[in-house]
């Protein structure tokens, strides 16, 4: 995206200050000591400085755009940023330097001189080194003289966001559960289907005529149809505990990967093999700001919170609809696991995944605890080990 801005005034570089100081000193020494050669040399350098300043005052008529091939990366992946320069003037443009910024660090790419009407694209790597929101820009184009004495720049593109998402480790089987009561309270997120009657509504084009409620239609004078949902649709809720007190920084990143894997590693399907994403809940997240956001983007933006009490974890757990499967991803055991398991009777399956620094990092198949039927506790140091332990369980 191009951004029209005025060029900044020329700036003297460190090399430029050195050249000018040397020129002034040489000239002063030549005049004081009566050495014409030094005075001539200083005059030559001064002329070179003036020519260098004049060269950067000429502003080429260039249009510069910056794009990024992908706005979403997985940790460790690389995408390409592109800067395209077009010369719309009648004269050739000199060599320029475009400077993008990645998390504030400058990345310089050279743009060779362009003929009249010429166009050139240069590319540079953008690496998702760590999970989070990667800020790019603003992009400036700099005109530099051949001696490196002066630099003149202007902003040509604003800021851009790249989401660096956590890794998703594939699951061989997804955790799944069902709502406990076929004719009980129906979840607002339940999919349309044929199992449980929920309401009557006016007929719409495309509705199955077999669902028309003829008695109600006769009373109202309008065609009314029965609306059903699948209240036994498999449900999975993943809760990410973000309390900083139960993780070290490395373990927190591993916990985010575990949450991503259980939420998206293999989507739970209904009886008709229709994929259903898990519900993701992140402690400390503002629902108003994340409504409708992709779960992986939400996990990319997840940050540790300062509340060390496990009360928010329990409140989140207790607000989950009965039935189905709940996966809670947390850190070292501060009593959270025991408190959750004591409340597990409302759900078909409760999985507690603990990312702990005291576990063996080299263990490829850490032990799995099953304290009681319908509960599983996975303890490991890495996301890979947690997923390996889950795979060994088989379908619950």
Question: For 130-153, what is each residue's pLDDT tens digit?
Answer: 999 999 989 998 888 888 888 888
Mean pLDDT of the chain: 82
Q: What average pLDDT does the segment 159-175 reach?
A: 85
- pLDDT the model gives residue 293: 83
- Between 84 and 177, the higher pLDDT residue: 84
Report percent pLDDT > 70 for the chain: 83
Average pLDDT over residues 372-389: 90
Greater confidence (241 vs 175) lies with: 241
Q: 105 CB contacts (<8 Å, ≥6 apart)?
A: none
| Most confident segment among 107-121, 218-232, 349-363 | 107-121
* Domain layout of the chain by residue ranges: 58-165, 194-229, 236-393
Per-residue model confidence as pLDDT tens digits over 224-256? 888 765 555 557 899 999 999 999 999 999 999
Q: What is the mean pLDDT of residues 7-21?
A: 81
Query: What was the pLDDT predicted at 78?
Result: 95
State yes or no: pLDDT of 219 exceeds 70.
yes
pLDDT score, position 348: 86
pLDDT at 180: 39
CATH number of the domain located at residue range(s) 58-165 in this protein: 2.60.40.10
**Residue 102: pLDDT over 90:** yes
55-64, 99-108, 188-197, 384-393: lowest mean pLDDT where?
Answer: 188-197
Whether the pLDDT of residue 269 is over 70: the answer is no
Tokens 């910024």 map to which residue?
Answer: 101
Question: What confidence category does residue 257 fall into, taking pLDDT thresholds of 50, 70 and 90?
Answer: very high
> For residue 364, what pLDDT is reported?
65
**Residue bearing the bigger pLDDT, 368 or 239:** 239
Looking at 59-68, 246-255, 311-320, which range is the least confident one?
59-68
Task: Say how many C-beta atoms besides its own lie within 10 A of residue 327's C-beta.
Answer: 25
Lowest mean pLDDT among 75-79, 213-217, 366-370: 366-370
């Amino acid at each position: 995206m191009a951004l029209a801005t005025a060029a900044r005034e020329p700036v003297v570089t460190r090399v430029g200050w050195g050249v000018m100081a040397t020129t002034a000193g040489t000239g002063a020494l030549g005049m004081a000591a009566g050495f014409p050669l030094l005075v001539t040399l200083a005059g030559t350098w001064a002329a070179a400085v003036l020519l260098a300043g004049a060269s950067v005052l000429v502003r080429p008529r260039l249009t510069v755009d910056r794009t990024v091939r992908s706005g979403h990366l997985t940790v460790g992946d690389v995408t390409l940023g592109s800067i395209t320069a077009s010369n719309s003037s009648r004269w050739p443009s000199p060599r320029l330097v475009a400077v993008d910024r990645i998390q504030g660090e400058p990345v310089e790419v050279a743009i060779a001189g362009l003929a009249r009407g010429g166009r050139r694209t240069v590319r540079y790597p953008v690496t998702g080194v760590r999970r989070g929101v990667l800020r790019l820009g603003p992009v400036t184009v700099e005109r530099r003289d051949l001696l490196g004495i002066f630099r003149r720049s202007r902003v040509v593109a604003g800021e851009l966001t790249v989401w660096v998402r956590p890794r998703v480790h594939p699951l061989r089987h997804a955790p799944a559960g069902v709502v406990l009561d076929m004719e009980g309270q129906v979840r607002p997120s339940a999919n349309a289907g044929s199992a449980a009657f929920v309401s009557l509504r006016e007929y719409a084009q495309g509705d199955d005529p077999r669902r028309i409620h003829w008695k109600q239609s006769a009373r109202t004078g309008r065609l009314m149809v029965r609306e059903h949902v699948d209240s036994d649709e498999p449900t999975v809720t993943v809760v990410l505990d973000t309390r900083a007190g139960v993780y070290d920084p490395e373990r927190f990143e591993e916990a985010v990967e575990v949450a991503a894997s259980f939420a998206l590693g293999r989507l739970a399907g209904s009886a008709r093999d229709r994929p259903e994403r898990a519900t993701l809940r992140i402690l400390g997240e503002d629902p108003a700001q994340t409504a409708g956001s992709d779960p992986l983007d939400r996990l990319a933006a997840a940050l540790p919170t300062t509340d060390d009490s496990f009360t928010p974890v329990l409140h989140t757990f207790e607000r989950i609809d009965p039935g189905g499967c709940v996966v809670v991803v947390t850190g070292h055991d501060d009593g959270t696991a025991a408190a959750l398991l004591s409340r597990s009777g409302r759900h078909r399956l409760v999985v507690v995944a603990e990312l702990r620094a005291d576990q063996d990092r080299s263990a490829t198949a850490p032990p799995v605890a099953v304290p009681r039927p319908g509960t599983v506790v996975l303890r490991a140091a890495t996301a890979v080990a947690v997923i390996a332990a889950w795979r060994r369980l088989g379908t619950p």
